[in-house]
Structures are given as C-alpha cells and as structure tokens.
Amino acid sequence: MFNVQLSFTNATIFQFSSSFMVQHHLQLAAASSHGWLRATPSDGHSETSVDKRWDSLAFNPVKTDYIYVMKSCKDGSFSNGGLRHYGNIEISPSAAVLNYGQGIIENLKAYKNKNGSIILFRVEENGLRMRVGADRMCMPAPTIEQFVEAVTSTVSANERWIPPSNKGFLHVRPLLMGNGPVLSLTPAPEFIFLIYVTPVRNYFEGGLKPINVVVENDIHRATLGGVGNIKAIGNYAGIMKAQAKAKANGFSDVLYLDSIHNRNLEEVSTANVFFVKDNTISTPVLGGTILPGITRKSIIEIAHSQGFKVEERLVPVEELFDADEVFCCGNAVCVLPVGSITLNGKRVDYGESGFVVSQQLRSALANIQMGLIEDKMGWTTLLN
C-alpha cells in the first residue's frame, strides 16, 4: 500500500470533520492563458443532497464538481494541467478524435474506507496502459507520474462524491484525445488529457446477480493487427449493434469469438472472461486482440496465491459446455458470475456449485480494493 500526502499546484485543501472540502478560494492552474477558473464547489449540490443520492445510484454519469485538463506541448510533453469546474470543453470540429477516432480511454475506481480515507487501486498500471495505447495510436501521453498526480488531484477534489463502500464507488475516467485540427489522415498536432469522475453502483441492472450471455457468431470485437489490445475509443461503437440485439433478446451481454477461426473465446463486451474446471481456472491468452485487463491481471495473481492452477491459452468455445463455473471481470463489474451461455440456440446453465470460486475471488479482490483487509499485494494507494 502506498500512502500519499496530497499536494496541489496553487491549491489548498482544508480538512473538516475528517473529510476534504474544497474551499471557495481554491486556486486551480492559475495560468490565465489556459482559461482556468477559480473553482468553487457546485452550488447545486449540498452535502445532504449528495448523501441522499446513494441509494438511487446506477451506472450513469453524474455531474460532479471538478474535471482535470492538461494539454500537450509542441514537443509532445504535457504540462500546466489543473482542475476546473465540471463542464463542457472546447474542441475543434476538425479534431482528429472526431474525424478519425484518435483517442483512448482508461477506467479505474476509488473507494472510501471505514476511516474515511480514499483508496485507489493499481493506478500506476492504468497510467502505463494508457502510454502503451497512446504509442499504438501515434499519440504522446502523460508520464505515469503525471497520470497518478492527475488522478489523485481529481479524486480528492471530488471526495464528497465517493459513495460509502456498500453503496458504490467513484468511477474515474481518464481520456486522451487528438484535439488539433486535421483534414488528411494524420496524427493531431495537439492532444488533450482529461479526467472526469462520477459515482456509480452496479454496471448491470441485476446488480451482482449472475448474467446471461450469448455467443456472437457474426460480429467480432477485434482482429489481429488491430487495436483490440488497447482501450481505443473506436473499439466500443463497433460492438454496440451486437450488444443491443442481445439485450433485445433478453441477454445481459455478448461473448465474442476470434475473427479467424470463429471458435476461440475472446472477451465479453467490456470485460475479460474466465472459466473454471475442477481446480483449474482458464482464460484466453493475450495475443493482440484481447485487452490486458488490470482486474484480469489481479485475479490471476490472487488465484495463484489461493492455490489454483491458472492457464492462459486458446479456449475453444465448446469447453464452456463442460465448465463448472464461468465468470467475467473488469473495472466496472469487479468479478461477476455468468449464469448461462447460449451458443447457436443451445443454452448451458451454471450455478450448481453456487459460484464458489468466482465469489471467493471477488471477495478477495473487493476486500483489498475497499480496504477491508491488509493489502499484502501492495496494490492500493491510500490518500491521506
């Protein structure tokens, strides 16, 4: 566990009743040439009104107090970033992100522990993954240190929007996008790094209930040589049609197959997939089309520590019919059991074992993320 003492450029955080409150005179990235504002808490949301919202949280955006914005310099480095009021940003109509999809996203979460401290989970891993994705998309990216500092600043300034751990978490969404004007197919001359946050609860409407998944035979999430192994923004719009069709037919989500043989498992729409047989946990091997999920990486490490045999390999879809359990994992869902999978009209149901393995892994991971147990893995950052 890392302990971080908060430090802001031209900003002061005052502590009241064991919580951070951003005062009206909080100065944020004061350079007037960047149009930064003297930020104050949102007048439309009192502490009481925020507290009343937790029970009605879903997985939808909520207007919080602050966002973080930082622009690239001519040499590709980033500087002069800072917090500003949550609101719209200025973007060119000919921006590369709008015309050619030059952009990537990240996802991470923040919890508040029983002592009121803020907990971030493996934030350096997100910063590293953004840099890897940026390189693939011909984009400069903030350093890992800048990424961590920006996340820390944004989460801390929006501290009052972090739900109690039994009510949800603060979803943190960093974006990197080409904003400079382009017309031909060329990398943008300018880039924006932005972070916004929103309190959320469960990704699926059913909460933590097992989901029902259908295998997609026609639409593929990624192809070899493409960008399926990074969080390119264009990866998601292309699968919305398959997902919408699945939901219209009563399924929770879609399980995609490889684009060459149309046989091997890849991912659920926004999560990695695992299946359990006896004491062995298997997951599709990373090979350029599968996102190297940070939750995936964590589950593999936890499973090893608990004595499971973990295999990363090609997984033919037929093996799902012989599995004891199937589960998916990702930042938003943590670990979520799959109740059934349907392939070409044939449905296989799981749950006779009570989803013992997936629940065991979920508990181990969630307890670390929420600060309920000692973090022996060294994965969390505690903001004091």
DSSP string of 95-133?
BHHHHT--EEE--EEEEE-TTS-EEEESHHHHHHHHHHH
Ranges of beta strands (E only) in 264-350 are 265-268, 271-277, 280-284, 309-313, 325-330, 334-343, 346-349
Give the model's confidence band at 12: pLDDT under 50 very low, under 70 low, under 90 confident, else very high.
very low
Nearest to 110 by CA among 20, 37, 26: 20
% of the chain with per-residue pLDDT over 70: 85
For residue 232, the SS3 value is strand
The CA radius of gyration of the chain, in Å to the nearest whole number, is 21
Q: What would the mean pLDDT of 186-196 be, rounded to a whole number?
A: 97
The string of pLDDT tens digits covering residues 90-109 is 999 999 999 999 999 999 99
Cα(229)–Cα(212) distance, integer angstroms: 25
Residues paired with 95 in a beta bridge: 181
∠ at Cα 217 (214, 221), nearest 5°? 85
- pTM for the full model? 0.87
Helices vs. strands in the chain: H and E counts, helices first = 8, 20
Give the model's confidence band at 154: pLDDT under 50 very low, under 70 low, under 90 confident, else very high.
very high
Sign of the Cα torsion 15, 21, 27, 28 reads positive
Predicted confidence at residue 9, as pLDDT, reads 37
Predicted confidence at residue 202, as pLDDT, reads 80
- CATH code assigned to 211-370: 3.20.10.10
pLDDT of 34 above 50:
no
Q: At what angle do helices 123-136 and 294-305 cross, to 10 degrees?
A: 130
As annotated, the active-site residues are 231
Q: What would the mean pLDDT of 199-205 be, rounded to a whole number?
A: 82
Nearest to 174 by CA among 105, 235, 98, 90: 105
The string of pLDDT tens digits covering residues 261-282 is 999 999 999 999 999 999 999 9
Predicted confidence at residue 1, as pLDDT, reads 54
Predicted confidence at residue 53, as pLDDT, reads 76
Q: Where are the alpha helices (DSSP H) in the chain?
A: 47-52, 96-99, 123-136, 144-157, 234-237, 240-248, 294-305, 356-369
Domain boundary assignment for the chain: 59-201, 211-370
Topology of domain 59-201 in CATH is D-amino Acid Aminotransferase; Chain A, domain 1 (3.30.470)
The amino acid present at 326, given as its one-letter code, is: V
